[in-house]
Amino acid sequence: MKRLGKLLFTIGLLLILTGVVILRKDSIITLFNTYLSSNNNEVKIDDVNEYYRDYDFEFVQNSKTIKPENYQDILNTYYTVINAGKSEFTFYCPKEYESCLIDVESIANDQTLLSDINNYTHPFNAFSHIETEFDSLGKVTIKITRPYSKKDIESINKEVDKLYNELYNDKLSVESNIKIFHDYIVNNTKYDSLRSDQNIIKYRSDTAYGPLFEGYAICGGYTDLMQLFLEKMNLKSFRVSSYKHIWNAVLLDDKWYHIDLTWDDPVTDDNTDYLSHSYLLIDTKQLLNMEKVQHRFDQDVFIELKETD
């Protein structure tokens, strides 16, 4: 009887373990892959979302395989993870890269640098909050929160598609079509002074949702919406920022230009709407000749826009 009892107990335990394996197979596979990754220090990014940009910039580049060997590799890892649309991603510091965790901590604590990296991604993949966790064994996990919900993206995409089909003219030049979208946004948007001056938040004016559906924007809203139209035109572009302002940059005929809709939609004393083209498709020298306080950006970060003699 004792032998029979032990046999039944063993069989029962095996059945329980088998059930656990079946029910938790995904977690077990993830754990197994994590174990392998932590031992060879290499993680691949092969599942990206539809807003992934498959091109590189001077400051940051995409990495298909994450195995950092230097500081630039860490920068590229952050960019790739954000650009790929990940909400959470884990990679590992190789033992031979002795300062890896020091570099990770330095980047993770530099909000200006992270924001600069963020500017190179599609607005729907950009983060509103980013957090980094790491341990002494070299495991690093990046967690990302985004400003646009799935519902937001669906609504915005539907409206942008509709406007694009109405406004885009394939008989005109690229520059002319950019001007069309620039003018549409400015003519249908007011600068949200209550938010910028008094921190009174009535509209979602810091995202593309504000100018598109509510008619109000601050610089982030103007820039994101313009960025979406540039994306529709398949133009290489990014957002460029200074210490308190943000605007667009776009590549045309191998040359980079600035577009600042915020400054082309000035606030007037009598609230009269005014459309300007002063900051439409200008180079860096022109930009800084006109205004060099809010537009003084880091040319060692936004290298494509570096002023030339």
Q: pLDDT tens digits for 144-158?
A: 999 999 999 999 999
User: Any idea where the domains of the chain sit in the sequence?
Assistant: 40-145, 150-305
Cβ contact 48:85 at 8 Å:
yes
- Is a pLDDT exceeding 70 seen at residue 38? no
Alpha helix stretches (DSSP H) within 84-173: 100-108, 111-118, 150-167
pLDDT level of residue 33 (50, 70, 90 thresholds)? very low
- CA-CA-CA-CA dihedral for 173, 305, 118, 72, to nearest 10: 130
| Rounded Cα distance, 191 and 205, in Å | 8
Tell me which fold the domain 150-305 belongs to: C8orf32 fold (3.10.620)
> Residue range 269-288: average pLDDT?
91
User: How do residues 225-269 score in pLDDT, each as one tens digit?
Assistant: 999 999 999 999 999 999 999 999 999 999 999 999 999 999 877
Among candidate residues 304, 236, 246, 237, the one with its CA nearest the CA of residue 279? 246
pTM to 2 decimal places: 0.85
3-state secondary structure of 140: strand
For 233-282, the DSSP string reads TT--EEEEE-SS-EEEEEEETTEEEEE-TTTTS---TT-------TTEEE
Compare 23 and 182 and report the one with higher pLDDT: 182
43: how many CB neighbours lie within 10 A of its CB? 19
Between 37-46, 55-64, 189-198, 279-288, the lowest mean confidence (pLDDT) is in 37-46
> Residue range 291-305: average pLDDT?
96
- Is a pLDDT exceeding 70 seen at residue 179? yes
Share of the chain above pLDDT 90, in %: 79
